[in-house]
A = this chain, B = another copy of it.
Amino acid sequence: MDRQKGIDYLFNPRSIAVIGASATRGKLGNDVLRNLVDSGYSGRIYPVNPRSGEILGMKVYRSISDIANSLDVAIIVIPAERVLEAVEECGKKGAKALVIITAGFKEIGHEGQEAEKKLIELAEKYEMVIQGPNCLGIINTSAPYNASFSAGTPRKGSIAFASQSGALMTGILDWSLMEKIGFSKFVSLGNKAHLDESDFIEAFGRDPDSTFILLYIESVVDGRKFMEVCRKVIPSKPIFVVKSGVSAAGARAASSHTGSLAGSDTAYDVAFKQCGVRRASNMAALFDVASVFDDMYLPSGNRVAIITNAGGPGILTTDACEASGLQIAKLSSETIEYLKKNLPPAASVFNPIDALGTAQPEDYALCVEASLSDENVDSVIVLLTPQAMTKESETAQVLVESHRKYPNKPLVAVFMGGNSMVYPRIILTEGGIPIFDFPERAVHAIAELYHYTISRDNLKHESIPSFKVDKKKVTEIIKAVKKDKRRVLLGSEAHAIAEAYGIPVARIRLATSSEEAKILAEELGYPVVLKIASPDIIHKSDIGGIRIGLESPDEVEDAFLQILDNVKAHMPNAMIYGVDVQEMVDQGKELIIGCSRDVQFGPLVMFGAGGIFVNFLKDVAFRLAPMTRSDASDVIMETKMGTLLKGVRGEVPSDITAIEDTILRISQLVTEYEEIVELDINPAFAYERGKGVSAVDVKITIGG
């Protein structure tokens, strides 16, 4: 069965069996059944337990096969060793979707992994979808039903939340009840043996009850699928994610610059960016955004009005806005005139609007409504400090009324205080206005929503360019290298591959004797460069393995012998294939263009400032291949080098189109040849506009 169809059953089942239903309080099988009943599920419920009898007034079935009617969904809460059998029974019964709460699978090692493989086989055999195993369950507040062992059911709302950590989910649920945050769907992903985050994102995307998607993940199962699904959903719904495990993977061995500059988490960052997903830095920030979005429209721009009864908090808010990419709105002259007429003369009628410490609820009302109706304002932040004449609860009340009159513009309250803010807080949350203790989190949440609208609008649906290339040549070279049992290609091989993909390279030929070197130099034309050809030597210049600017046969002969001497002295055990003779190209701006390969997301292309200081400058940016022309243009402009290439201080611009072409051809190469695990062009020289680029040193490593 199609996974999405399966999830439709999972979201709106006509009947649910609880396999492992229990009458004993404290057992998961009891928690699940009670949650199901308490949540007001209106479909049929079948408690299943070999002991039969009655639980919560419902008849208990000895086994699935005893159920007479059809069955949509089964929740499985029995010991791991009996799960496979139960799954098979569900399959035979024609169930459409299973939720396996039981733990003891992949997370316990090899045996559990094997069991999960069998789960997938059964899911396919019987055309079912499976959520879990090792999860908390699933909650749909609009069905409504709660098929989880959570303590309590979340409030109904528009946030769809999926989490890879069940325990985190219990904390969030408890917290959300206090903070009055509502959810449409609440999904515990568990081990993701069958249904994964992408399946649920796609389903949330189609779900009319969900307008906002939040995720907590530690990894994605299938990077490509994830990106594809997110790109589909983003235009209509925001997706915010906390991806943890940034520091977990640690440093990985890499022989290329690209490999060593791409951190273990870079591919996730790039993938999120390329598909418009916003990454939150922590759980609090994730839910701050959700709390502002819930019940609110998105800001249509970044212009914020700030209303306050004290100067200090106004300044703090202004600082936070500017740090988050929000602008302090320039109020319209009508608004300013109106405020002047209605506020005390000492008030500041420019943004931030300071209604003074004496500000009464009606003063707040007029400031807020003037701001909400001002076309120059995209969202409004209301600050309040508890001063002598401040009426906190009444002010909260007028904000709720103003919000009702102008519901389309985000309105956020920052009421700074503690005990005196308890009632105002209730009034505001019940009235659909998010409230914060301090300005910075409020500002950050609004900024995140604004940035989502920008990423959404920037998502382009361009096609991937396809260049005519000489694949036959590349296939031949790689085959020969594999036959030679090498992983690192010789310079001449790597250059030939780049050339076959239409990348302008400094021509290079392998010489195995000084005589041959002289002949090749003649052929390439003086001056030439000589470089040691050895897969074992990565940093050739450090050991005297390179000689440049050789002008004559005599110089070539000298250099040939000296390079071999140097190598013998410094790396006597290196495997030497000879010396590469390379044409000397004109100096240009030094670039690096490279690629490494990410386990989840595939080829990760890097662009940046090249040369010997690349690791030191770290002026690089990344994109996942295959890339569009906009991707190529964006990755260049994300670096400082990009600005330099456009030409600063009157310089002629570099040939940016040629650089984009080179990046795109590399993108095509690494997409078409999965064997290429690492690739560095460093340096590539960029010349003036119209004069192209030249790849000076190409290194390629292939995988096993």
* Residues of A that sit less than 8 Å from B by CB: 26, 28, 31, 108, 149, 151, 163-168, 170-172, 174-179, 216, 218, 242, 244-248, 281-284, 309-313, 315-316, 318-323, 346, 357, 385-389, 416-422, 437-441, 539, 542, 612-613, 616-617, 640, 643-644, 648-650
Contacts and interface: CB of A to CB of B under 8 A. Distances in A.
Given A284-B438, A385-B171, A388-B28, A312 B218 contact: yes
A313 B613 contact: no
A474 B163 CA distance: 69
A110 to B, nearest CB: 16
Given A284-B438, A650-B542, A310 B149 contact: no
Given A172-B416, A175-B417, 19 more contacts: A149-B388, A167-B357, A167-B385, A167-B387, A168-B313, A168-B385, A168-B416, A174-B418, A174-B420, A175-B418, A178-B422, A244-B312, A244-B319, A247-B318, A247-B321, A248-B319, A542-B650, A616-B643, A616-B644
A560 to B, nearest CB: 23
Contact of A385 (B26, B170, B321): B170
Nearest to A151: B386
A312 B170 contact: no
A163 B165 CA distance: 42
A460 B586 CA distance: 51
A174 B419 contact: yes
Contacts of A421: 174-175
Given A151-B386, A282-B438, A283-B316, A167 B311 contact: yes
Contacts of A416: 168, 171-172, 174-175
Contact of A311 (B165, B282, B320, B419): B165
Q: Which of A149, A171, A282 has the most CB of B within 10 A?
A: A171
Given A175-B418, A388-B26, A613-B648, A310 B167 contact: yes
Contact of A170 (B386, B422, B649): B386
A373 B422 CA distance: 40
B284 A437 contact: yes
A310 B168 contact: yes
A438 B283 contact: yes
Contacts of A218: 312, 315
15 contacts: A26-B388, A26-B389, A167-B311, A167-B385, A167-B387, A168-B385, A170-B386, A171-B313, A171-B416, A174-B416, A174-B419, A176-B418, A244-B312, A284-B440, A616-B640
A281 B320 CA distance: 9
Contacts of A612: 649
Contact of A247 (B310, B322, B644): B322
Contact of A171 (B149, B242, B417, B648): B417
A437 B175 contact: yes
Nearest to A168: B312
Contact of A318 (B171, B248, B312, B417): B248
A617 B639 CA distance: 11
A282 B245 contact: no
Nearest to A643: B616
Contacts of A31: 388
A641 to B, nearest CB: 10
Nearest to A31: B388
Contacts of A248: 315, 318-319
Contacts of A151: 386, 388, 420
A283 B317 CA distance: 11
B437 A174 contact: no
A390 B686 CA distance: 62
Contacts of A420: 151, 174
A415 to B, nearest CB: 8
A440 B319 contact: no
A216 B312 contact: yes
